[in-house]
Chains A and B, each alone.
Chain A
Amino acid sequence: GAGVSQSPSNKVTEKGKDVELRCDPISGHTALYWYRQSLGQGLEFLIYFQGNSAPDKSGLPSDRFSAERTGGSVSTLTIQRTQQEDSAVYLCASGGVGNQPQHFGDGTRLSIL
């Protein structure tokens, strides 16, 4: 595709529900990243996938957060038992091998009521 695609663009859910956020990286990109951006804040690293290597999960804030990347392409970020502090924009980025630039998707704006 032309760029990184994320869905849904907006998600409103009640506290305690589970949510799934999807990321479709740029075709051929082996690296995929998830970041979180709270209102007016910077970008907080969550998780990184590179090819078939074990993902770097060091940024996940709690065990309620998990992510998968199937077939080296599409990724899903799952948040279980959502809390109000999970409200943020969740950004996905993909990049090529080595020190290639990362390109971001438009993000999913998650609001927990």
Chain B
Amino acid sequence: GENVEQHPSTLSVQEGDSAVIKCTYSDSASNYFPWYKQELGKRPQLIIDIRSNVGEKKDQRIAVTLNKTAKHFSLHITETQPEDSAVYFCAARSLTGRRALTFGSGTRLQVQP
């Protein structure tokens, strides 16, 4: 089945700097890659997603890139703000096998004011 690895597990940046979180997946049949942000005690919230027919997608300060050949995808946050501090999870969903999302282990991002 699908296996998703995420790193780093923790990331501390200064306000205004960029943050990059990387994930790799194992199942070449995966075609959907969402990113979720989870603040302490809250539900995971979808912030951006990408499908396998697209290499990059942007939404204001966040962007996701996908390299299908290398089977990795990344989240980029520019001009970070303290309210970006949270745990971020990547996930992948395969066209075959399990149809539920397989999640990475999460990255705790801390933006220092």
Contacts and interface: CB of A to CB of B under 8 A. Distances in A.
Contacts of A106: 42-43
Contact of A45 (B45, B101, B104): B101
Chain A interface residue bracket vs B = 20 to 34
A48 B98 contact: yes
A103 B34 CA distance: 11
Contacts of B44: 43, 91, 104
Interface of B: 31-32, 34, 36, 42-46, 49, 51, 89, 93, 98-106
Given A91-B44, A99-B31, A99-B32, A56 B98 contact: yes
Given A42-B106, A43-B44, A99 B98 contact: no
Given A42-B106, A43-B89, A99-B31, A104 B100 contact: no
A71 interface: no
A84 B41 CA distance: 20
B44 to A, nearest CB: 5
A65 interface: no
Interface string A60-78: 0000000000000000000
Contacts of A105: 43
Given A42-B106, A43-B44, A102 B101 contact: yes
Contacts of B45: 104
A59 B1 CA distance: 12
Given A99-B93, A104-B45, A33 B100 contact: yes
A88 B106 CA distance: 17
B46 A102 contact: yes
Nearest to A99: B32
Given A99-B31, A101-B49, A102-B34, A91 B43 contact: yes
